[in-house]
């Protein structure tokens, strides 16, 4: 299954890339195909809106969403999860996906 990683970036040191990097590796090691916003957009990307356009396009090709700690406070993650829920995608925490 292809999973999209959804979590907070804005306001975090290094845009929370270390958490996204770790999550992507853990999910890949567990056998998932992974799409992660930190791999789609450079840290010096033009704008939040442009990043979200790229991220949402990628999300549409996934079968589920793995959420990171703090996702419920992130404007972008809330948007991603709202779209995923409307599409009927399975949304679970990173830990839940790793439990299989």
At residue 69 the predicted structure's pLDDT band, cuts being 50, 70 and 90, is very high
pLDDT for residue 100 = 67
Supply the CATH number for residue 28's domain: 3.40.50.450
Q: How many domains does the chain have?
A: 1
Torsion of CA 69, 74, 78, 79, to 10 degrees: -140
- Residues of the chain with pLDDT > 90, as a percent, come to 80
pTM above 0.85, yes or no: yes
pLDDT digits (tens, 9 = 90+) for 56-65: 999 999 999 9
Domain that holds residue 8: 2-99
């Amino acid at each position: 299954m292809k999973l999209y990683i959804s979590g907070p970036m804005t306001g975090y040191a290094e845009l929370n890339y270390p958490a996204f990097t770790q999550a992507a590796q853990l999910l890949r090691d567990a056998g998932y195909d992974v799409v992660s916003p930190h791999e789609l957009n450079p840290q010096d990307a033009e704008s939040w809106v442009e990043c979200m356009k790229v991220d949402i396009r990628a999300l549409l090709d996934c079968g589920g969403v793995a959420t990171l700690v703090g996702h419920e406070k992130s404007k972008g993650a809330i948007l991603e999860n709202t779209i995923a829920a409307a599409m009927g995608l399975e949304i679970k925490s990173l830990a839940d996906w790793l439990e299989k």
